[in-house]
Structure 1
Amino acid sequence: MSRIGKLPIKIPTDVDVNFNGADITVKGKFGTLENTIPNGIKIDKIDEKLVLTLETENRTNRALHGLYRSLINNMVIGVSEQFKLTLNLQGVGYRAAVQGKDLVLNLGYSHQVIMPIPEGISSEVVKNTTINLTGCNKADLGLFASKIRAWRPPEPYKGKGIIYEGEIVKRKAGKSGKK
């Protein structure tokens, strides 16, 4: 049995969890998330806690036990608190702005990079160089942040690029001249 999978999921008072069969729906003040659980994994609600158990013990179900416990836990946290990611733009002339439902990035290209902000994610730009992303779906939030970062990943020589908050970019020494 999975060490992560056997941990109970605590349900906050403002979150409503409904499940019938393989479908689970989690509603909270920040939105509604849905997921489908594979056959062989069963959900039980005991004293405002969700517990996932294995109906059939096989290799696939054991592998998915901890995964689906983490996914459901992320759903509960997302609809009650929301997830937040911060991206920092480091480089001369690198700027960001929110225009309507689009994120406009100036990243040293000859053109602006315009990215539509997905439904369910809110974006805020602070001081032109810090992008704060919030959303209740952790996977969608991480995917959007990685798409933004893919335009200018951090480079090791000057440290320029789009960097996650708290990320450490290993710097390299440049060429040393002839002596």
Structure 2
Amino acid sequence: MSRIGKKSVAVPSGVTASVDGQQVKMKGPKGELSFVLHQEVTAKLEDGAITVTPRSQDKVARSMWGMSRTMVQNLATGVTTGFERKLEIEGVGYRAAVQGKNLQLSLGYSHEVLYPIPDGIQIACPKPTEISISGINKQQVGQVAAEIREFRPPEPYKGKGVRYAGEFIFRKEGKKK
């Protein structure tokens, strides 16, 4: 039995939810999201909550049960509060700035890295060494953060590069004489 899957997802106030076959749609103050459930699970909307149940007790249905419930919960959270990911930039001369629809990164290369900001994502730079990525789709926010981090991942000797806020970088000692 899935501990996560057993819980129902409460539909927050100000959010309209609908279940149409395998598709779950939610519309709230931040926008509209939808998710198509795996065919091994079903969803029901009753009493202001969405309940996800497996169609059978085989391994695939049980493994999709908890994941599907979490995806429905992410829809509810996304349309009400949204998601945010923070990145930190470490290194001499490394900085970021938003210019129009692009994120401009100086990461120690001979050129500036320009990252086009996708639709549905807001990027802000409160400091030159901080990047804040926000949006209503959790998967898209995480993907954009991973793509920006990939331009210069943190290296283990000095810790220079782009890292997630609060990420621990395993440091190495370096050469000895």
Q: TM-score, normalised by structure 2?
A: 0.96
- The residue number in structure 1 matching 2:9 is 9
On the 8 A contact 2:19/2:45 being kept in 1, the answer is no
SS in 2 for 1:5: helix
- Take 1:77 and 1:96, find their aligned partners in 2: how far apart are those partners? 28
- Take 1:135 and 1:3, find their aligned partners in 2: how far apart are those partners? 28
- The residue number in structure 2 matching 1:152 is 152
- The residue number in structure 1 matching 2:133 is 133
- The residue number in structure 1 matching 2:76 is 76
- Take 1:8 and 1:23, find their aligned partners in 2: how far apart are those partners? 16
After superposition, where does 1:74-113 map in structure 2 within 5 Å?
A: 74-113=74-113
On the 8 A contact 2:2/2:62 being kept in 1, the answer is yes
Shift in Å at residue 107 of structure 1?
0.4
- Is 1:168 the equivalent of 2:139? no
- Take 1:172 and 1:40, find their aligned partners in 2: how far apart are those partners? 46
Shift in Å at residue 37 of structure 1?
1.0
- The residue number in structure 1 matching 2:30 is 30
Deviations along 1:100-120, one digit per CA (max 9) or x if unpaired, are 111110101111111111111
Residue 170 of structure 1 aligns to which amino acid in structure 2? F
- The residue number in structure 1 matching 2:117 is 117
- The residue number in structure 2 matching 1:54 is 54
On the 8 A contact 2:15/2:28 being kept in 1, the answer is yes
SS in 1 for 2:13: coil
- Take 2:119 and 2:40, find their aligned partners in 1: how far apart are those partners? 32
SS in 1 for 2:14: coil
SS in 1 for 2:6: coil
Deviations along 1:122-146, one digit per CA (max 9) or x if unpaired, are 0001121100010110001000100
Residue 4 of structure 2 aligns to which amino acid in structure 1? I
SS in 1 for 2:175: coil
On the 8 A contact 2:40/2:60 being kept in 1, the answer is no
Shift in Å at residue 92 of structure 1?
0.5
Residue 19 of structure 2 aligns to which amino acid in structure 1? F
Moved >6 Å (runs of 4+): none
Q: Which runs of 5+ in 2 are unaligned?
A: none
- Take 2:124 and 2:115, find their aligned partners in 1: how far apart are those partners? 14
Residue 46 of structure 1 aligns to which amino acid in structure 2? E
SS in 1 for 2:133: strand
- Take 1:32 and 1:173, find their aligned partners in 2: how far apart are those partners? 49
Q: TM-score, normalised by structure 1?
A: 0.95
